[in-house]
Amino acid sequence: MSLSWSNWSGSVQSSPKAIEAPSTIEALSAVIRSAPGPVRIAGSGHSFTPLVESAGTILDLSAFSGLHGHDTEALTATVGAGTKLADLTHLLQSVGQALPNMGDIDKQALGGALGTATHGTGPELGAYHTQLRAITLVDGRGEVRRYSDDTDSEMIRATGVTLGAFGALTEVTISNAPSYRLHKRRWSMPIGDMLADFDAFYAAYRSAEFYFIPFSGHALCLASDTTDAPVSTRPPEVDEDGIATLRMARNFTSRLPWLRRKLIGNALRKLPDEDYVEDWLKVYTSERETRFNEMEYHLPYEEGAKALAEIIALAERHFPEVYFPMEVRSVKADDFWLSPFYQRKTCSIAIHHDAKQSPKAFFAAAEPIFRKYGGRPHWGKMHSLTATDFAAIYPRWKDAMDIRRDIDPDGRFISPYLARIFGIEA
């Protein structure tokens, strides 16, 4: 019987020789040493790039899950790297801890979120990997390696964002915040006003983002701040209904863009504002049922508004089939070698396309705009860059590649896709 693996959107299909799910670190070491290569590691399949694709072996590390320990005073927790973020939130809440920030999806495995520099939003809030304090991984020869921020700070920064190519991550210790509540608001405003007040918007809140709705002329704003106010009822989610409405408006007004703009703009103006208080783990995320593909670039913060204006113009002039909202976030700078946020405050712009249709033309037209403004692509989302490009935009690229060769000298984790990304000749 042939084996198959697919990512969430269906954009990546793979037919490996083996899919292994070791339950102990000894079994994992044995698989890495002897299973058909290349050996790739599957989280929950939420990456849109072929990071997991392999004709050799795909590893399922979900057995390496759960809370292994915590320190109440230091506010740290040691957890299995296979733990899904949705489960992690409840585990941390049970011991009075919280993730300082989250993205809007919680289906990913923690190891995958770390390895692809997954992030939330907030100019003073870092991506998940900035919480790392210690890691345990199995290297390309099946040996167990452990690094701690106290004694191996350079290695933590070298291996915090690795695309699953510097070893199989099994356990991490992360620093957290005390459990907290958030006051969440949602409202709409004209996109011209948002672009004019871009800096003020992000500076006004602990965590803020907005979605531009194509052909609407409006931004849908979301912001949250910590609070001691009592919990109130979170309104029912309407995101999926909204996506369906946008798709319908696209379908029925394809030859009448002015009508599309009027209908969507009127709907957004009438959308009730959202305002509630909840515990942190019930605020950040939303369900995503409609399948899509995504490109996201991380730009110098000061270039964000200009780049977005060009992307909007591109979509509305040349790609009327696009109806998914564009997501715009801010992220704090960090010092992890392969982090897209390395040494610069960032504006992240994500564009989406219905998974039932090819995104290639739209993404190919948008990518030069992102690159013109100094963008670095999200490691888990579609892009066309290769090793030559990355060497030019990551100051410590060569250092990271040296570490990768030390951890995996035989290239056990290197698939053809990663060989292109890292510049490794077959």
Both tokens assigned to 76: 């740290």
Question: What is the structure's pLDDT at 252?
Answer: 72
Question: What is the structure's pLDDT at 1?
Answer: 65
Question: What is the structure's pLDDT at 129?
Answer: 98
How many whole angstroms separate alpha carbon 426 and alpha carbon 414? 10
How many whole angstroms separate alpha carbon 13 and alpha carbon 246? 28
CB 118 within 8 A of CB 380: yes
Complete DSSP assignment for 149-205: TTT-HHHHHHHSS-TT-S-EEEEEEEE-EE--EEEEEEEEEEHHHHHHTHHHHHHTS
Question: What is the structure's pLDDT at 266?
Answer: 73
How many whole angstroms separate alpha carbon 77 and alpha carbon 69? 6
CB 12 within 8 A of CB 6: yes
**Residue 79 identity (one-letter amino acid):** V
Longest alpha-carbon distance in the chain: 63
**Residue spans of alpha helices (H) in 271-413:** 304-318, 360-372, 387-393, 397-407
Burial label for 23, CB within 10 Å (0-12, 13-18, 19+), is exposed
How many whole angstroms separate alpha carbon 350 and alpha carbon 370? 10
Average pLDDT, the chain: 94
Q: Which residues of the chain have pLDDT under 50?
A: none
Domains of the chain, with CATH numbers?
181-377 (3.40.462.10)
| pTM reported for the whole predicted model | 0.95
How many whole angstroms separate alpha carbon 136 and alpha carbon 25? 10
pLDDT in tens, 34-73: 999 999 999 999 999 999 999 999 999 999 999 999 999 9
pLDDT in tens, 113-140: 999 999 999 999 999 999 999 999 999 9
The count of residues in the chain is: 426
**Residue 68 identity (one-letter amino acid):** H
Question: What is the structure's pLDDT at 359?
Answer: 96
Complete DSSP assignment for 352-371: EEETTS--HHHHHHHHHHHH
Q: What is the CA radius of gyration of the chain?
A: 21
**Residue 123 identity (one-letter amino acid):** P
CB 331 within 8 A of CB 288: no
Question: What is the structure's pLDDT at 426?
Answer: 60
